[in-house]
Structure 1
Amino acid sequence: MPARLLPILVFVPILLGFTFSPREFAREHGGITRLSIATGNTGGVYYPYGGGIAKVVSESLPKIEVTAEVTAASVDNLKLIQLGKVDIAFALADTLADAVHGRGPFERTGPVAAQTLAVLYPNYTHLVTIEGNRIARIADLKGRIVSTGSAGSGTEVIALRVLRAAGLDPDRDIRRQALSVNASVDALKDDKIDAFFWSGGLPTASVLDLATSAGLTARLIPNDDVIPALQAAFGPGLYKRIVIAAGSYPGQTEDVPVVGVENALVVDGGMDEALAYDLTRTLFERQRELAGIHPEARHLAPARAVEGSPAPFHPGAIRYYQERGVWNR
């Protein structure tokens, strides 16, 4: 599904389909470099985080103006990078691995020349239901109506992998819906689905909305038991056990162990080195402000940002990390 590109927070008109580099684009527009960031849907973390990045970069770098765009998230974002329609993108590490190797959703279009600026924060694989649905583990999804995330999203990628790792066929063993996190929450409230997957940071606005809805009790289902199967299939570096700590959402009284996967901020490999350096530097110089926009930015730190990306780092980002003394490769 093509992305629905909408400007948020910092409005800049964007020319879709350009094939020249950002520096060439700047010369065509009186020296102003206009960049776009592919984020995700409005109920997730990418959207506000990307809007925050657009804001701080536009404020910090002379003659740089940035727009954050609403998309279907990771798969969509990397295809937009490949098409030259955006300059910067959020992506889950497992989707990014598929992209740079030209496999899975990218098999027909070939490898994506994406390079990493920073590893940002971990995503938590939410499997969400409501009390009374008699779902306590992944196996209980058999025969139920389950949303596996928007088509073209990282949530969809990991949801299908988790189901298969648990021994369920997504096309036969569940009645699958492809809904955004916002639509999934609404459908669960309206008793149109029994559960949904969501891969996102903490807290996710739409899940917060569900957890605070009157007349129902949201439940997060543990799913870390499939990690050995995921690591056997996709290698040891992409998936790990992490915990949605008790109290992360209203009414959540216990820790919930889940599948974790990192998020990266990537750019087209042809981006100017000086520009990539400036973007990377600005992320860390304005980190406290970004954390005020969304708490997942609290994880942003140079030493952490260089670990966990399956895509090569951009030379401009490497130069910044070398200056900070955290690049030892």
Structure 2
Amino acid sequence: MAGPMISHSPAAPPRPGPGRRVVLGRRVVLGAALGWGAAGLAGCGAGREPVQRLRLATGPEGGPYNAFGRALAAATQGHAPAVVPLATAASVDNLHRLDDGSVELALAMADTAEDAVRGRNSFGRPLPVAALARIYVNYTHLLAPADGPVRTVADLAGRRVAVGADGSGVQVVARRLLETASLTGGAGRVAEVPLALGESVAALCAGRVDALFWSGGVPTPAVAELARELPLRVLALDGPAGVLRARYGPVYTAAEFPAGVYGLREPVGTVGVGNYLLARTDVPADAVCAVLRTVFDAWRDLLREVTAGARLEPRFAVSTGAVPLHPGATAYYRSVYG
């Protein structure tokens, strides 16, 4: 893997010894903890009746967010708080559900989460949400039949392209990529078809769309299965990655599909986007601490069906950019890592 994606599997941090403190690499962890004071640092302790359950907005059935949510629910079974996963349209939908109080926890892509806290694009005002952790990185897939006419992003002009389901984070990054290529207006405008992953795969196989966007782990099982039935071209997006980063900031990183995945003979550059586990700001800090204990104890199981080869460790998890860490998350990281 190239570029910042190395942080997807970084070296494990040193364990704290006597008089030694592990630096987590995010100033807000220390600064915010000072601001919250003793109350924040006590967040991982008892002192109130424990929250019994937390509803988690995930994503469509069969997708990686839903798989993560089901695995987290299994890991919390018999404990408080128990996590209850709910199938949704994913990132944008999930953040609106956090805002209206129909869930307490949610998964969302980093770019969409940053839009929410800044009150822009799909969000008319800043939403009161906070991060528990950055859990893994999505790879932006732009796929077309290997024997078809679409070889570059420019070849999408005037064609039908599946851009992800309405309310998904896939649509956000897909539309931004199309904008950078001047494919959202004029004669060369792409005909956007809003479809979830399973529908997109079926449409590509049937020739109802010429290409599809997807944002997920590597390999995404549904895409790997598609590649066994239909030889695929994975379009390079390393050029647009730099444009997106310059325009929207470090929520976008350079990434690479490795040779071998989806039948690739050589690596292909693309856009990486983090995924955050989020909470309403009024979720009690001790409940957040309990969830994070489970996440860090069970991360291998949580990520097994989501993205191959990923791992979770604190220096990666606290990198949530403009989205502030929840006080309970800060309390957890400081109580465990000093």
Question: Structure 1 CA distance, aligned partners of 2:331 and 2:95?
Answer: 24
Question: Structure 2 CA distance, aligned partners of 1:269 and 1:134?
Answer: 48
**Number of residues of Structure 1 aligned to a counterpart in Structure 2:** 290
Q: Which residue of 2 aligns with 1:70?
A: 87
> Are 1:239 and 2:239 matched, yes or no?
no
Q: Secondary structure at the match of 1:298?
A: coil
Question: Structure 2 CA distance, aligned partners of 1:51 and 1:220?
Answer: 29
Q: Which residue of 1 aligns with 2:71?
A: 52
Q: Which residue of 2 aligns with 1:230?
A: 244
The Cα offsets for residues 98-144 of structure 1, whole Å up to 9 and x where unpaired, read as: 0011110012xx21111111101111110011122121111110011
Asked if structure 2 preserves the Cα contact closer than 8 Å seen for 1:43 and 1:181, the reply is: no
Computed over aligned residues only, the root mean square deviation of the Cα atoms, in angstroms, reads: 1.9
| TM-score, L = length of structure 1 | 0.83
Q: Which residue of 1 aligns with 2:172?
A: 157
Which of 150, 158, 167 is 1:135 aligned to?
150
Q: Secondary structure at the match of 2:226?
A: helix
Question: Structure 1 CA distance, aligned partners of 2:234 and 2:290?
Answer: 40
Q: Secondary structure at the match of 1:132?
A: coil
- CA gap 1:164/1:292 in 2 versus in 1, 3 angstroms: closer
**Aligned AA (1:260):** G
Q: Secondary structure at the match of 2:77?
A: helix
What percent of counterpart residues are identical? 37
| TM-score, L = length of structure 2 | 0.81
The Cα offsets for residues 249-299 of structure 1, whole Å up to 9 and x where unpaired, read as: 2x2222111011111000001000110111111110122332445445832
Q: Which residue of 1 aligns with 2:121?
A: 104
Asked if structure 2 preserves the Cα contact closer than 8 Å seen for 1:287 and 1:297, the reply is: no
Q: Secondary structure at the match of 1:106?
A: coil
Q: Which residue of 2 aligns with 1:145?
A: 160
Q: Which runs of 5+ in 2 are unaligned?
A: 1-47
TM superposition outliers: structure 1 runs of 4+ over 6 Å: none
Q: Which residue of 1 aligns with 2:3?
A: none
Q: Secondary structure at the match of 2:236?
A: coil
Q: Which runs of 5+ in 1 are unaligned?
A: 1-25
Higher relative contact order (CA 8 A, sep 6+): 2
Q: Which residue of 1 aligns with 2:138?
A: 123
> Are 1:248 and 2:261 matched, yes or no?
yes
> Are 1:168 and 2:187 matched, yes or no?
no
What are the equivalent positions in structure 2 for 1:1-329 lying under 5 Å apart? 33-59=52-78, 61=79, 63-107=80-124, 110-169=125-184, 173-213=189-229, 216-235=230-249, 237-249=250-262, 251-295=263-307, 298-325=310-337
Question: Structure 2 CA distance, aligned partners of 1:204 and 1:42?
Answer: 14
Query: Which stretch shows the higher mean deviation, 300-309 or 170-179?
Result: 170-179
Deviation at 1:311, TM superposition (A): 0.8
Q: Which residue of 2 aligns with 1:4?
A: none
Question: Structure 2 CA distance, aligned partners of 1:92 and 1:292?
Answer: 19
**Aligned AA (1:91):** A
Asked if structure 2 preserves the Cα contact closer than 8 Å seen for 1:149 and 1:198, the reply is: yes
Question: Structure 1 CA distance, aligned partners of 2:176 and 2:304?
Answer: 33
